[in-house]
Structure 1
């Protein structure tokens, strides 16, 4: 009886009876950093620094000075926290690139995505932090200089276009031509809308009011909704891709 339980056939049968653990521990660790990072990112930009939704562009130096005076402490706290956790963006991009390299499209699109996102973090995230931190660093700064920092930070945050469109292009192409079904094909179309929303934000550099201003319904709000749908979809399917990844899958080159 004991010999039959320990026979190779019995061991194989018991091993195959239950599902093998999928994914890898390091991939799961990286995955859970992604929703944690973007939750903290949203709290910082919405509640602490008041960058989302953006304050008005059609305002003068006096109102801008009052804005920085009113929110100086929360701006310092919020962007100090951001500078501590901004590496979470690299983790988010890293796990996305990891699963993109598991696609049948190869590594080129994955590298396009990685490079585009890496370049985009400076104008799309860090520059507004440095501008706002510099603005509140010296409360007696000339109001005209405060207005310059205000404009530079918010124009960069809403109007950083080309680096992200390149990343989204690589991501969409990779999904369209992938045969491993890492991400669903409809996510590629949502990604194309990401590109469209970036292009539609171009007028923020010349328009101070209306739907194409940096706080407008098209330049900001439509782009934010599309980005929110895209981001939640990516996070959801990153989890699914990690769950379905074979536990014994060989390491990627």
Structure 2
């Protein structure tokens, strides 16, 4: 009997991985667009840049939610739609890491994907909690509103470890000498040092449980402003590095997209 012939998996259709690269580019833009909308809602509607003073009394917290309830609830709506923006972004980062990471088991790439998923949860939950506080403030005791408000603010600032895993993984890949020999690599060695610095700065977040004033309060320099700015800068730079790498991979006729 003559065995049936089958086409090679990638030889006749999309043999240079254009669909994968186009998908990565589209997904990364998707995540970036969601991040921009989330950021605007966070600043303009939720009005949480910076977070409100930890020294507010329960009555002050409740009064603020009553006075700004409509804006806060709409901010919660928009952030519910966009809060998981890191999932598509880290999916592309992980795909690019898997491309340069050796071995069958891409454990560092898997770690970044898991970390991106977890950090998305911690970015999505606080706006929902602020929304609940605004939703219930006119009807509930001020202490209940304050509890939800403080839970949201502390969740936003103290869940730093979810971010740390991903940045450590990026740093390991970027510091590996063989990575720098890979063509169109989006993880240059200098970027490892930047990622490690941000990792170190983010570790201050958990201290927000302790003080209500100063740089370690949840609205302080080291707990809020430093992570807020560094996180934004990191996403912009890493996204740009990946966009450039994807474009170069697509234009390079010698590139093996399935390696």
TM-score when normalising by structure 1: 0.84
Query: Could you say which residue in structure 1 is the equivalent of 2:147?
Result: 148
Query: Could you say which residue in structure 2 is the equivalent of 1:157?
Result: 156
Show the 5 A alignment for 1:173-212.
173-177=172-176, 178-179=179-180, 180=182, 181-212=185-216
2:54 aligns with one of 46, 53, 57 = 57
Is the CA contact (8 Å cut-off) linking 1:23 and 1:246 kept in structure 2? no
Query: Could you say which residue in structure 2 is the equivalent of 1:131?
Result: 129
Is the CA contact (8 Å cut-off) linking 2:168 and 2:199 kept in structure 1? yes
Note the C-alpha offset of 1:155. Answer: 0.3
1:103 aligns with one of 100, 105, 113 = 100
2:218 partner SS? coil
Is the CA contact (8 Å cut-off) linking 1:22 and 1:245 kept in structure 2? no
1:66 aligns with one of 63, 68, 79 = 63
Note the C-alpha offset of 1:96. Answer: 0.9
2:240 aligns with one of 236, 243, 249 = 236
Q: Call closer, same or farther: CA 1:41–1:146 in 2, change over 3 Å.
A: same
Which consecutive unaligned segments of at least 5 residues does structure 2 have? 1-17
Q: Which moved more, 1:84-93 or 1:54-63?
A: 84-93
Q: Which moved more, 1:207-216 or 1:187-196?
A: 187-196
Is the CA contact (8 Å cut-off) linking 1:22 and 1:244 kept in structure 2? no
What is the alpha-carbon root mean square deviation over aligned residues? 2.1
Note the C-alpha offset of 1:22. Answer: 11
The number of aligned residues is 232
Alpha-carbon separation, structure 2, partners of 1:27 and 1:127 = 26
Query: Could you say which residue in structure 2 is the equivalent of 1:5?
Result: none
Alpha-carbon separation, structure 2, partners of 1:193 and 1:131 = 30
Note the C-alpha offset of 1:92. Answer: 0.8
1:24 partner SS? helix
1:37 aligns with one of 34, 37, 45 = 34
Is the CA contact (8 Å cut-off) linking 2:32 and 2:85 kept in structure 1? no
Alpha-carbon separation, structure 1, partners of 2:64 and 2:140 = 13
Query: Which one has the largest radius of gyration?
Result: 1
Alpha-carbon separation, structure 2, partners of 1:37 and 1:221 = 21
